[in-house]
Structure 1
Amino acid sequence: MGSLLGIAAAALLLSSVERQLRPVLETMAEAEAKNKIVEIMDRAIAEELSAGGTTYEDLIHIETDEAGEISALTSDMSALNRFRTEILRTMVADLDTLSGSELSIPVGNLTGIHILSGKGASLPIEVIAVGSVHGDYRHHFENAGINQTRHQISLELTVTAEILLPGETLHTQVTADIPVAETVIVGPVPDTYLQLGADA
């Protein structure tokens, strides 16, 4: 009878510990997977920028009036779409290699105790599937000095993924806003820059 009570008490203790550590494990698993996915995003953009030599002037045309003042900023839709397509194609190929890959978290990391970080057995994490991959352009304007405006173009990339943990499957979404090109515009920025839009 005593041994049964001991087993029951141990089971309850393990269950309690598991309930306490489960949220930490989920958070760390998501962070680990997200880090890998963001690395793929960064690498895809860096490789495309390096291979294609894409610059701000390739994506945005600055138009001036007879006085030399900036009259409009015009998107090169063909160049923007081509660049985004190449980025997404590279990402899909790299993410396919991530699907089915195994990551791990040392048990010591779950305790929150610094000296135990990286210690103990590793709990397996597997990215079992990568779903949709989506990208939208964002335009950011900020003051860069007297009569100067910095215009930065970034690509907001979103990836959905499923992560397999012991006893459950997590669904997560990773979004990163990664700079693509920028320039400093000298002079007043015309209102027509609004034509660029978020999805240019």
Structure 2
Amino acid sequence: MHTKTKIKILVILLSILILFNVFLYELNRVISPAISNIADEEIKIRTVDILNKTILKEYSDKFNYDEVIKVDKDSEGNIIMLRADTLKMNQIACEVAIRAQEELKESGSINIKIPVGYIFRNNIISNMGPEVTVKAQQLGSIDTEYSSKFQSEGINQTKHSIYINVKTNVRVIFPMSVSKLEVKSQVPLAETIIVGKVPSTALQFDLKSAGFDLPEGKE
């Protein structure tokens, strides 16, 4: 084979290789954001589902409004103050954080297969094309925090609602990149109607000091 022919073949092969890499780069640039948005939403849904099931299971038998919130009244029955048993609340939050971490680890990696055609949001081609596999792994940290809300329900009647807010991070693994996704969930734990005039000082009742943070690697 002549030297010129060899050079020509080499140039053609290099050109094909360069064009192929340019194609992959452009494909990744265009498709990755769409796939990332789809994958993030699906991963959030699955992670929140695990968190919510764990929260409801742990709190259903252990959290009672009358046991964790004390309403102080004066001799005439007027409300003076609301007090929270933060020790008990923190204990339950700790158990929830540990159990949620265990549940996420036991569930293993979340694998999602997305057909490339799905990114075009067209029902005709949504199932067409090769599938892109996206994996998600929980990073380990679980943060729990309480919050409450007061709402007037009529004359001298106030509804008090308590929520648990849970936050965790998951590692999202794409074919050509890795990112971190923060997942949050808020679940109502209890609500009660407080009968009597509630002073403004009681309405400033804050539960943010209650909760539990489970760092990565701790069990």
TM tier, shorter chain? 0.7 to 0.9
1:169 partner amino acid: V
Which residue of 1 is the match for residue 59 of structure 2? 49
Distance across 2 between alignment mates of 1:56 and 1:117: 48
Q: Percent identity?
A: 26
Which residue of 2 is the match for residue 24 of structure 1? 34
In the TM superposition, what whole-angstrom CA distance separates every residue of 1:86-125 from its partner, at most 9, and x where no partner exists?
2112101111123434222232321122344455543211
Distance across 2 between alignment mates of 1:120 and 1:85: 45
Distance across 2 between alignment mates of 1:147 and 1:14: 66
Spell out the pairing of 1:34-183 with structure 2 (5 A cutoff). Answer: 34-50=44-60, 52-183=61-192
In structure 1, stretches of 5+ residues that fail to align are: none
Distance across 2 between alignment mates of 1:34 and 1:83: 24
In structure 2, stretches of 5+ residues that fail to align are: 1-10, 211-219
Secondary structure of the corresponding residue to residue 38 of structure 1: helix
Distance across 2 between alignment mates of 1:63 and 1:119: 64
Distance across 2 between alignment mates of 1:120 and 1:55: 52
Q: Give the total of aligned pairs.
A: 199
Give the structure with higher Rg (CA). 2
Verify the 8 A CA contact 1:88 1:133 in the aligned structure 2: yes
- Deviation of 1:153 after TM superposition, in Å, equals 1.0
Query: RMSD over aligned Cα, in angstroms?
Result: 2.5
